[in-house]
Chain A
């Protein structure tokens, strides 16, 4: 393994990423330690555990956790690992319980992770020290507008500081609900693909591929009379306006397009929706709120128009993605139902859109086996992007957001484990 800092190479005019980032298992292990071992990692949404005693499992990198809500309503993140002999204490992915019981020797923990007892306790002296036998917790947990994050770093930026630059976009996304509150339905769309996790990150904010990878979908829209292909192509090529690709600090990035430009839901068709938004958030914010954005919150979260997307690296060439459509509280029912149907149409595992993206990830994962060709080029638009209000703003087809995420990759990977934790 070369030093990771040498694997993302930037000059004034060029930006290159080494192919081993997609293929080297040792690099993958290092990513889990240095990126997922230090960043604020998204775990789940508060609406998935609405009531005291509710829980949901998740992962921080590869480490299994339980996110539980205690009797006082407080959220706890607990490593799913018995303090006795290491077995998991929870096998369901969600549920309701006031305790977690290890099935090996019946050690029992409450929803705060405190050890409550074990089978045959007479095997331990009365003064046996149980103080260090609560379930281990990540050092820091934070929530912003329903999004629950944890960090394995003891110190560093608070979640609030971490989200500073991307906060306005998160707010706009939440405020598509007239009540400022989104919830997740029970079911979601899950897909797995035999490729590296970063392929999904790159693609989710890539405005360059749409005319080609989603040609099939453009043809369907033209056939249904929803959008002319020439209009879609023109919109994707358009310079200026709200169309842009942005690179933010912390590895975040976004792809931004005017309301209804490419999405197939025309929100103005729903009587009263825009009015409810204007009433709740102010008329001057409605266009901003309805702007179509794909927001990448490094390293594992996307906020898309219709859903939360969580990227779970499994191995160097194996990734699971959870797409949780969001229900906009306070919006007309027809808006939410239409969003579900459009979500199935473009983003689901049997859809007409995301499935073609996944196919391309697999093309890349196969192609980079040709390791004699060492580099991937991500220089597009370096000559024309601009610094604006602390953001790097490029044409919507530029690789500006991808550069932002790989700069964050390089910063995190250049640290040693000790520094990452310190």
Chain B
């Protein structure tokens, strides 16, 4: 990392978060993957936030994220047929002061509205659902672009029973 690497601006951080939300809501998952570094982690922890000692809801390395995208886009994943429509809504964004040049930590709140189309008389289809979480992003400059090295989402209801979190949070 060069020592003159810039600090992230608030606009750059917002642009990245909004772009991610738009790619997810448009189902452009291959492009979503490209927002991340090769050594990234996409983490939706459980209660203790220790991935070595307890199961996480999601603990995806880049390889596992790639599998997740493949499953959603290329395979007959019943839990996503029909696929969820989502609206990722990002707010309460805070850009924290960085200790290391070329790195940044961004906090935000996330609300996802989700709905699955189809025969809405059927159980599980049609009914709107919402999910809330607090996010921490660790960003790094790679090839002069800010990339996501860590996306951590603490869901409001992470220790309560969940149903069908198979869309990308």
Interface residues of A (CB under 8 A from B): 185-195, 213, 215-217, 219-220, 223-224, 317, 320-321, 325, 327, 333, 337, 340-341, 343-345, 348-350, 352, 355-356, 358-360, 362, 365-366
Contact between chains at A350 and B58 (CB < 8 Å): yes
The interface residues of chain B lying within 8 Å CB-to-CB of A320 are 161
The interface residues of chain A lying within 8 Å CB-to-CB of B47 are 186-187
- Give B158's nearest chain A residue, CB to CB: A187
Contact between chains at B76 and A215 (CB < 8 Å): yes
Number of interface residues of B (CB under 8 A): 37
Q: Per a CB cutoff under 8 Å, which of B68, B70, B75, B164 touches A359?
A: B164
The docked-state distance in angstroms from the alpha carbon of A412 to that of B160 is 32
- In the A-B complex, the 5 residue pairs with the closest CB atoms: A187-B46, A349-B162, A187-B54, A192-B161, A216-B75
Contact between chains at A189 and B55 (CB < 8 Å): yes
The docked-state distance in angstroms from the alpha carbon of A219 to that of B52 is 27
**B48 in the interface (beta carbon within 8 A):** yes
The interface residues of chain B lying within 8 Å CB-to-CB of A223 are 67, 70
The docked-state distance in angstroms from the alpha carbon of A348 to that of B44 is 11
B63 to chain A, nearest CB (A): 8
- Give A218's nearest chain B residue, CB to CB: B75
Contacts A321-B161, A356-B78 known; 13 new A-B pairs at CB < 8 A: A186-B47, A186-B53, A187-B159, A219-B71, A219-B74, A220-B70, A220-B71, A224-B63, A320-B161, A340-B54, A348-B57, A350-B58, A350-B165
**B79 in the interface (beta carbon within 8 A):** yes
B33 to chain A, nearest CB (A): 15
Are A358 and B79 CB-contacts (below 8 A) given A187-B159, A190-B159, A191-B162?
A: yes
Contact between chains at A219 and B75 (CB < 8 Å): yes
Contact between chains at A344 and B58 (CB < 8 Å): yes
The interface residues of chain A lying within 8 Å CB-to-CB of B52 are 333, 337, 340
Contact between chains at B78 and A192 (CB < 8 Å): no
Task: Pull 6 A–B residue pairs with CB atoms less than 8 Å apart, ordered by A.
Answer: A187-B54, A187-B56, A217-B71, A340-B59, A352-B77, A358-B79
**B142 in the interface (beta carbon within 8 A):** no
Contact between chains at B59 and A341 (CB < 8 Å): yes
B78 to chain A, nearest CB (A): 4
Q: Per a CB cutoff under 8 Å, which of B162, B166, B169 touches A192?
A: B162
Are A191 and B161 CB-contacts (below 8 A) given A355-B79, A365-B123?
A: yes
Contact between chains at B67 and A220 (CB < 8 Å): yes
Chain B CB within 10 Å, residue with most, of A320, A325, A352: A352
Query: Hey, what's the 0/1 contact readout for B32-56 against A, CB within 8 Å counting as 1?
Result: 0000000000001011100111111
The docked-state distance in angstroms from the alpha carbon of A216 to that of B59 is 19
**B3 in the interface (beta carbon within 8 A):** no
A171 to chain B, nearest CB (A): 25
A232 to chain B, nearest CB (A): 14
The docked-state distance in angstroms from the alpha carbon of A189 to that of B55 is 7
Contact between chains at B75 and A358 (CB < 8 Å): no
B146 to chain A, nearest CB (A): 26
Contact between chains at B79 and A359 (CB < 8 Å): yes
The docked-state distance in angstroms from the alpha carbon of A412 to that of B103 is 63
Are A350 and B57 CB-contacts (below 8 A) given A195-B123, A224-B67, A358-B164?
A: yes
Q: Per a CB cutoff under 8 Å, which of A188, A224, A358 touches B46?
A: A188
The docked-state distance in angstroms from the alpha carbon of A188 to that of B45 is 11
Contact between chains at B48 and A186 (CB < 8 Å): yes
Contact between chains at A358 and B165 (CB < 8 Å): no
Q: Per a CB cutoff under 8 Å, which of A186, A327, A358 touches B163?
A: A358
The docked-state distance in angstroms from the alpha carbon of A366 to that of B67 is 30
**B28 in the interface (beta carbon within 8 A):** no
The docked-state distance in angstroms from the alpha carbon of A224 to that of B64 is 10
Contact between chains at B77 and A325 (CB < 8 Å): no
The docked-state distance in angstroms from the alpha carbon of A109 to that of B123 is 43
- Give A321's nearest chain B residue, CB to CB: B161
A203 to chain B, nearest CB (A): 13
The interface residues of chain A lying within 8 Å CB-to-CB of B70 are 219-220, 223
**B124 in the interface (beta carbon within 8 A):** yes
The docked-state distance in angstroms from the alpha carbon of A366 to that of B123 is 6
The interface residues of chain A lying within 8 Å CB-to-CB of B164 are 349, 355, 358-359
**B9 in the interface (beta carbon within 8 A):** no
The interface residues of chain A lying within 8 Å CB-to-CB of B124 are 194, 359, 362, 366
Are A345 and B162 CB-contacts (below 8 A) given A186-B54, A325-B55?
A: no
The interface residues of chain A lying within 8 Å CB-to-CB of B51 are 340
Contact between chains at B123 and A345 (CB < 8 Å): no
**B122 in the interface (beta carbon within 8 A):** yes
- Residues in B146-169 with C-beta less than 8 Å from chain A: 159-166, 169
The interface residues of chain A lying within 8 Å CB-to-CB of B57 are 189, 344, 348-350
Are A356 and B123 CB-contacts (below 8 A) given A190-B161, A220-B70, A343-B55?
A: no
B66 to chain A, nearest CB (A): 9
A212 to chain B, nearest CB (A): 9
- Give A349's nearest chain B residue, CB to CB: B162
